[in-house]
Amino acid sequence: MNKGKVDVLLGLQWGDEGKGKVVDVLTPGYDVIARFQGGPNAGHTLEFEGQKYVLRSIPSGIFQGGKVNIIGNGVVLAPDLFMYEAKDLEKSGHELKQRLHISKKAHLIMPTHRLLDAALEQAKGKSKVGTTGKGIGPTYTDKISRNGLRVGDIFEQFEEKYNAHKARHEKMLKDLGYTDYDITEVEKKWMEGIEYIKQFNIVDSEHEINKLLKSGKSILCEGAQGTMLDVDFGSYPFVTSSNTICAGACTGLGIGPNKIGEVYGIMKAYCTRVGAGPFPTELFDNTGDTIRQIGHEYGAVTGRERRCGWIDLVALRYSIMVNGVTKLIMMKSDVLDGFDTIKACVAYMQNGKRIEDFPFNIEDNIQPIYVEMPGWKTDMTKFTDESQFPQEFKDYVRFLEEQLETPICIISIGPDREQTIIRK
């Protein structure tokens, strides 16, 4: 934690690294938690006191009382889905309205954006990206093409603006041959969500954050998805529609790069991916199935099976580089507790040549080069201190730190917030 600085926490793989749990664990050390990009395609799962929560748009610091939580301008917000999420939290006893602030400059996901998402995916045929269908891509497309509808617009001639955007989308849908739909009920709930949002603090978040920094407050920025899904640096075109890297915190919240303090990079002890796209270390055998079953690797929002594989150090080195990661956090270490051997990809073989730098294209002719290590047949889920770790696991951690040239400061050994080892 750095007073007057912004620490950033983000995923280093293809998403689903466990960011929500770690934000919740770190929140007591911060005054403010701010989400800087992505939409309700994120699913941040938190477990504590026998309860399980899945957050989609609301920052994961909301469970720690008294903290300000900000949805930044880089986020795209679906009013109806936000309303369902917030009401569920309120029912479970978590007060939101005074502590959750929403940027006026965050863009709104319209019902027709979801239709466009489905229509565009359908038009791609075999080249489908594998989106969540939440309308994220079309919303960011409108933002970049200067056709977006923002949270701040709900207070000024909103109906006129909404209808103009809707008419434009309907023409696009007609051009795509996608006409068999009825959004009457969805639109009704969406408008209900718009009224619900008005109860929250709608703010100029860039001013608010910089004033908080100037007053000495500490801020933790929470990323969504993962670095390898970044629209610029990920496995394009099988990526999300926003900048998931550390620089995205600057543009997604309105803070200068000189305000960035620690950059926490989160990774699993292995690797997963949801949806289409290249995945060099993917396992198609019983080992991959076992990792999926033990790790409960299914999407928190979609329920989709996650593809599973060994840890990819080529991709991780790249992620650490483009993010400027200062500290690593390793999640789901316990999932590998029962394996005889553990593998880590240290390089790729591409067209007969060994490469250690992440290449422009990982779709074709990539074979991972593995280092194999002895596993640890020890149940680590009840451990409370790193001194209890078996030697084989300590060796694995040391190997990763040497390969990645970055210290691993936190190790997670289970889904509960208590199953977290902070290394000394």
Cβ partners under 8 Å of residue 399, min gap 6: 344, 371, 373
> What is Dmax (Cα atoms) for the chain?
65
CB 357 within 8 A of CB 318: yes
Read off the amino acid at residue 144.
Answer: I
Considering only CA atoms, give the Rg of the chain.
21
Bridge partners of 33, per DSSP, are: 69, 220
Q: Which two tokens stand for residue 221?
A: 């920025």
Angle at 303 between CA 300 and CA 415, to 5 degrees: 40
Neighbours of 422 (CB within 10 A): 12
Kindly list the distances between the CA atom of residue 131 and the CA atoms of 136, 296, 363, 405, in Å, as whole numbers in the listed order: 8, 21, 18, 34
364 part of the active site: no
Task: Choose, from 7, 16, 24, 142, the residue flagged as catalytic.
Answer: 16
Give me the half-sphere count of Cα atoms (radius 13 Å) on the Cβ side of residue 185: 2
Q: Which two tokens stand for residue 361?
A: 């294209």
Distance CA 183, CA 185 (A): 6
169 part of the active site: no
DSSP class of residue 295 equals: T
Bin 311: left if φ > 0, else alpha if -120 < ψ < 50, else beta.
beta
Distance CA 245, CA 224 (A): 9
Distance CA 291, CA 308 (A): 7
Q: Which two tokens stand for residue 319?
A: 């992620």
Task: Choose, from 44, 101, 107, 169, the residue flagged as catalytic.
Answer: 44
Bridge partners of 373, per DSSP, are: 342
Bin 164: left if φ > 0, else alpha if -120 < ψ < 50, else beta.
alpha
- Which residues are identified as catalytic? 16, 44
